[in-house]
Structure 1
């Protein structure tokens, strides 16, 4: 019941996705595993070496240019970028994506209080929907309303639209995210790290 203060004072809860509900590395590292398996089959290279390189590169430098770095290291033909990009968007993961335990507890308490839960998702809608579908929601998925900022404008514009569409007051909304968004006008923000 440690989330009760938020639940008592707010009428709606808006969550981000990556590194808010779950660790984004759990998705990325599984995509790299699948890509390495594909390359092993197509190029007869050791998948284990590719996975190790991609994982270490990702943990050190992040996801940017990871295909280019991997292709250079293992002399992969450029044609494989298509397969890599498709996997990024549509990968069927070997393992479900698990929510952070404190976030799952908070979501359960919000649901038990009968209050609405929204996901406001940045990034490529196809990829982000693929992630959402592969999460272990523990039955909460039927109580979520999802908005993609790429379809409606910026994060802030989508948040404003959400508030108006659902007839909410800004002071009654709590946004749970990784980093503070720009327009904090009358909408309270809670860093997921505080959960």
Structure 2
């Protein structure tokens, strides 16, 4: 799908952030590397081994269980869970996060066509903002308006979309949501706006 395939009457586009505009693993893997470096410095453990274990656990069991699997393997003290969580929210990454190429092209076309771009993202607001700040937007950041759903009610609840519509004088027919999960699709369906899956563009 291309921008030209989308209904030209749409006035605004709503995007989720993780795995829609950029691959979330690019953020998490860098945080795992930073955490591993901290553990090597403070606990004299192998940073390479910790990074590999966290990435493996992430891929096999999901990001929520990554620290648990590391703890099981290396008997790391529970108090270090806080360090990882803190880094996940505030880490200064070694490398900028890069947008999917097709999504960058889409965003640029939306801007050229003078339509609005909203990022409406679930997750810890501090962490999501940290990701946005460390993404290479190629000058598009000035056109982005971000809403953090967890500051009201996470998607699929529609509170954040209703707020967005009210604050920017938009109707349902004006909007299209581009997401990558059942949560996004359910949110769009619940409020009655058009939905496109990110896989249509990648």
TM-score w.r.t. length of structure 2: 0.92
RMSD after superposition: 1.4
Q: Contact between 2:177 and 2:188, CA under 8 Å: does it hold in 1?
A: no
Instruction: Give the aligned partner of residue 59 of structure 1.
Output: 59
Runs of 4+ in 1 over 6 A off after TM superposition: none
Secondary structure of 1:41's aligned partner: helix
* 1:41-66 C-alpha deviation (Å, 9 max, x unpaired): 11111111111111111111111221
Separation in structure 1 between the aligned mates of residue 176 and residue 103 of structure 2, nearest angstrom? 14
TM-score w.r.t. length of structure 1: 0.95
- Matched ranges for 1:149-188 at <5 A: 149-155=149-155, 156-179=158-181, 180-184=185-189, 185-188=191-194
Instruction: Give the aligned partner of residue 34 of structure 1.
Output: 34
- Count of matched residue positions in the alignment of Structure 1 and Structure 2: 195
Separation in structure 1 between the aligned mates of residue 61 and residue 67 of structure 2, nearest angstrom? 12
- Structure 1 residue 138 and structure 2 residue 138: aligned? yes
Separation in structure 1 between the aligned mates of residue 146 and residue 2 of structure 2, nearest angstrom? 26
Separation in structure 1 between the aligned mates of residue 200 and residue 122 of structure 2, nearest angstrom? 21
Instruction: Give the aligned partner of residue 127 of structure 2.
Output: 127
Q: Contact between 1:97 and 1:136, CA under 8 Å: does it hold in 2?
A: yes
**Cα offset, 1:2, TM superposition:** 3.0
Q: Contact between 2:17 and 2:121, CA under 8 Å: does it hold in 1?
A: yes
- Structure 1 residue 194 and structure 2 residue 196: aligned? no
Q: Contact between 1:7 and 1:113, CA under 8 Å: does it hold in 2?
A: no
* 1:106-140 C-alpha deviation (Å, 9 max, x unpaired): 00000001111001011100000000000000000
